[in-house]
Amino acid sequence: MNWHIRKFNIIAPIYQLFFSYQSDYYSEKIKENIDYLNLKKGSKVLDLGSGTGAFAKGWQNAQFKVKAADAAPAMIKKCRENGLDCIEADLLEGLKFEDSSFDIVTAAYLAHGLSFEERKKLYKEASRIASKLVIFHDFGDKENLFINIIEAIEGSYYREFIKSVPYEMESFFAEVEKIKINKWHNWYICKVDDRD
Ligand SMILES: C[S@@+](CC[C@H](N)C(=O)[O-])C[C@H]1O[C@@H](n2cnc3c(N)ncnc32)[C@H](O)[C@@H]1O
């Protein structure tokens, strides 16, 4: 297990303290955007880097069929306790899902924690597995000093990421749209090439 995953394994119990708040917030945002995105309830969703399962729970609450995946065993345990179907998988090693096997692939706060080379793997895998959309919930391009300090302590790629989204995603998807979720966060809605 690399240091990035080990770090999440250690902080899983702390993450769990925010699960209810986070999943309620995500549920509200999903409800607000579901019609605009023309998403059908009952569609299959794969949530990557699920952590304790807050984003996945939001989709499950909105009646989607959800599978969660994470690489940190302690996160997976919490995710299952939170009522999600969660598997252990490291996306950097390639995911064992068939092409187009989910309608939608989602990932919240996963991309900015990865290096550019790792993000390219994420975009490639997500676009391979999704048949319609990939949705990234992550930081927007407005820099925030407080987030900057926290993310620097965490050793994430926050500053590099916010400077190159959504442009860095464009070569992996047919279309990328940005939806403002709040002052500091966006959804990056990535349409997958029609493979039919
Ligand atoms: C910042 S947390 C976000 C958790 C959750 N999506 C949320 O919004 O609360 C990032 C998660 O991504 C997972 N992760 C990081 N790198 C990963 C990888 N290569 N494969 C799978 N999961 C990964 C971590 O274990 C962690 O649970």
166 CB-side CA count, 13 A: 22
Pocket test for ligand 1, best of 15, 16, 78, 110 (most atoms within 8 A of CB): 110
For residues 188 and 172, give the distance between their C-alpha atoms in angstroms, rounded to a whole number: 13
Whether residue 83 is contained in a domain is answered as yes
pLDDT digits (tens, 9 = 90+) for 49-87: 999 999 999 999 999 999 999 999 999 999 999 999 999
User: Average of pLDDT values for 4-20?
Assistant: 96
pLDDT digits (tens, 9 = 90+) for 131-183: 999 999 999 999 899 999 999 988 899 999 999 999 999 999 999 999 999 99
Stated length of the chain: 196
pLDDT over threshold 80, residue 195 = no
For residues 54 and 16, give the distance between their C-alpha atoms in angstroms, rounded to a whole number: 9
Q: Phi/psi of residue 36, each to 5°?
A: -60, -40
Give the pLDDT score at 196. Answer: 59
Whether residue 112 is contained in a domain is answered as no
Residues 67 and 124 grouped into a single domain: no
Residues 191 and 138 grouped into a single domain: yes
Which atom of ligand 1 lies nearest, measured to the CA of 49? 12
Q: Phi/psi of residue 110, each to 5°?
A: -95, -50
193 compared with 19, residue with greater pLDDT: 19
Say how many domains are in the chain: 2
Give the pLDDT score at 194. Answer: 74
Quote the ligand 1 centre to 196 CA distance (angstroms): 31
Which atom of ligand 1 lies nearest, measured to the CA of 56? 6
Which atom of ligand 1 lies nearest, measured to the CA of 47? 6
Pocket test for ligand 1, best of 4, 6, 7, 8 (most atoms within 8 A of CB): 8
Residues 56 and 135 grouped into a single domain: no
Quote the ligand 1 centre to 186 CA distance (angstroms): 17
Kindly list the distances between the CA atom of residue 1 and the CA atoms of 4, 14, 19, 177, 179, in Å, as whole numbers in the listed order.
8, 20, 24, 34, 34
For residue 125, what are the domain limits? 119-196
- The residue whose CA is least distant from atom 27 of ligand 1 is 51
Which atom of ligand 1 lies nearest, measured to the CA of 91? 20
Quote the ligand 1 centre to 1 CA distance (angstroms): 13
Quote the ligand 1 centre to 17 CA distance (angstroms): 16
Give the pLDDT score at 6. Answer: 94
Which residues sit with their C-beta closer than 6 Å to ligand 1?
4-5, 8, 22, 49-51, 54-55, 70-72, 75, 90-92, 108-110, 113
Residues 4 and 85 grouped into a single domain: yes
Whether residue 30 is contained in a domain is answered as no
Adjacent-strand bridge partners of 136: 107, 188
Residue type at 4 in one-letter notation: H
Whether residue 104 is contained in a domain is answered as no
Give the pLDDT score at 51. Answer: 98
Is pTM beyond 0.85 here?
yes
Give the pLDDT score at 162. Answer: 96
Spatial CA neighbour of 43 closest among 96, 106, 89, 124: 106
Residues 5 and 85 grouped into a single domain: yes
pLDDT digits (tens, 9 = 90+) for 14-55: 999 999 999 999 999 999 999 999 988 899 999 999 999 999
Residues 148 and 85 grouped into a single domain: no
